[in-house]
Chain A
């Protein structure tokens, strides 16, 4: 009589299921999620301590761009940290303790920024579907990380809530994430909060909510919330994304001879102003 075959464990179906499994295993290491742009989720004993993604500001960016820590102070902290490593006195010299020890930021504020960065980066990663993952056991987490870490279940629930909240109030998250918004009308600054004024000033028609988040040193989700609320008050606008791929190519294909540098015309030269002072150049329409 043959022994019963143990059931083969089912592979996790998505990243939240993988993180739940890693929590049960008390896993310490990282989960690399490829994609556009993807990111890395750092775990300590199964809890999420940091999430790195190009789609969301890092703790460093949040601290510096928001004005919590000056650039000179940050440079001093990094130098002090490097010195402690070089001296081999690494015991209590993490960047976290150096920043608070130098009085550059409070314990509570740094802790809040690290926690907020985890949730914001998870949200930013979730805006694009994950394309698989790679688990790296024992990899070292960033120094500026949440402590002791966030529950994967809480992180997944909050990410889902954020996506649902924006989708319910807005609709297409892809359109909102790609929106290069600009002020829609002249606004009396007094009718806005300081935060709304800052977002409106940052919205210059070239920045997406992600760009605004990096510029102001705030999260991507808060920036998207701000943009959505300002849009609801008709204070910002943006053009609908153009379907570039669907447009037919009508330009004449250049021959190889035309693409040679020497066959191109001369570079345009600045035309001197009209000495009469009329402000226009002869033969050209004034703008």
Chain B
């Protein structure tokens, strides 16, 4: 999805739990803006939200344009996933999304 507008480009699997793209974009925008206001440097790499049933991983996708961010969003069932491994695989997957 687009990191600014939340426009969903493509989806696969059961993505009903992901929610609206624009809400995720607003959330990551709030986090990024707040971090920078608080003095954090650099750009957002990933956001991980853990829940009692589901985990959500939002991973920034490296592209050729620094100003037009694309995000990869994954929702995982808590009982069936290893979060640390999932975050690592999301980062690897993001490398190939735009190629």
Contacts and interface: CB of A to CB of B under 8 A. Distances in A.
By CB atoms of chain A within 10 A, which of B29, B36, B37, B43 has the most?
B36
B12 interface: no
A219 B5 contact: yes
B68 A218 contact: yes
Interface string A197-219: 01000000000000000001111
Interface string B58-99: 000001111111100000000000000000000000000111
Interface stretch (A2-10, A82-90, A108-116, A271-279): A108-116
A67 interface: yes
B32 interface: yes
By CB atoms of chain B within 10 A, which of A112, A119, A192, A226 has the most?
A112
B98 A108 contact: yes
Contact of A68 (B37, B43, B63): B63
A106 interface: yes
Contacts of A165: 22
A217 B7 contact: no
Interface residues of B, number: 26
Given A67-B64, A107-B99, A190-B41, A221 B5 contact: yes
Contacts of B9: 111-112, 115-116
Given A165-B22, A190-B41, A193-B32, A216 B7 contact: no
Interface in A115-165: 115-116, 119, 158, 161-162, 165
Contacts of A234: none
Nearest to B64: A68
B43 A194 contact: yes
B25 to A, nearest CB: 9
B67 A194 contact: yes
B5 A108 contact: no
Contacts of A162: 5
Interface of A: 62, 66-69, 105-109, 111-112, 115-116, 119, 158, 161-162, 165, 190-196, 198, 216-219, 221-222, 225-226, 229
Given A165-B22, A193-B36, A108 B97 contact: yes
15 contacts: A62-B68, A66-B65, A66-B68, A68-B65, A69-B64, A109-B98, A109-B99, A111-B9, A116-B5, A194-B43, A194-B66, A195-B4, A198-B67, A218-B68, A219-B5
Given A68-B64, A192-B36, A222-B5, A106 B99 contact: yes
Nearest to A217: B65
A161 B22 contact: yes
B85 to A, nearest CB: 24
A190 B36 contact: yes
B39 A193 contact: no
B70 A112 contact: yes
